[in-house]
Amino acid sequence: MTTQRPQPVEIKRLGNQGIRITWDNGHVGEYTIPYLRRWCPCANCVHELTGQRLLDPKSIPDDLTTEGLELVGSYALRFQFSDFHQTGIYPFDYLWKVCPCGQSHQDAGAGG
């Protein structure tokens, strides 16, 4: 049996500094823009075959902002970062997994 991961019920921009996602299980995650950029899942930032991170997190400035945010279908977000990077698509299950709240969401389902 597969456990369904939580889905966003609200996505709110926090100016150009971050986003707040309220999940359908009641959890709320706040993601800063530098945090999201450091966790970019695109092929330029993560090796496609090995999953090894190619981006040095220290290369992302703490004052990075976003120039735009768009919904990709009904499953993901794409950001236009102020460093002109915009190739990363952030599926909702990935955003759940990398939530900066400090709780482990790796295998957590709706109760997570």
* Structure confidence at residue 3 (pLDDT): 64
Within-domain flag for 76? yes
In this structure, are residues 112 and 6 in contact, taking their beta carbons and an 8 Å threshold? yes
In a domain, 46, yes or no: yes
Whether 74 maps to a domain, the answer reads yes
Pick the more confident residue, 81 or 5: 81
- Residue pair 21/11 in contact (Cβ under 8 Å)? The answer is yes
CATH code at 33? 3.30.2020.30
Q: Is residue 39 part of a domain?
A: yes
Q: Please tell me the least confidently modeled range out of 2-11, 26-35, 85-94.
A: 2-11
The number of domains in the chain is 1
105 found inside a domain: no
**Torsion angle of C-alpha atoms 109, 49, 87, 15, degrees rounded to 10:** 40
For residue range 41-72, what is the model confidence (pLDDT) as tens digits?
A: 999 999 999 999 999 999 999 999 999 999 99
What three-state secondary structure class fits 57?
Answer: helix
104 within a domain of the structure (yes/no): no
Q: Is the pTM of this model over 0.85?
A: yes
Q: Which domain holds residue 80?
A: 8-97
Q: In 3-state terms, what secondary structure has residue 59?
A: helix
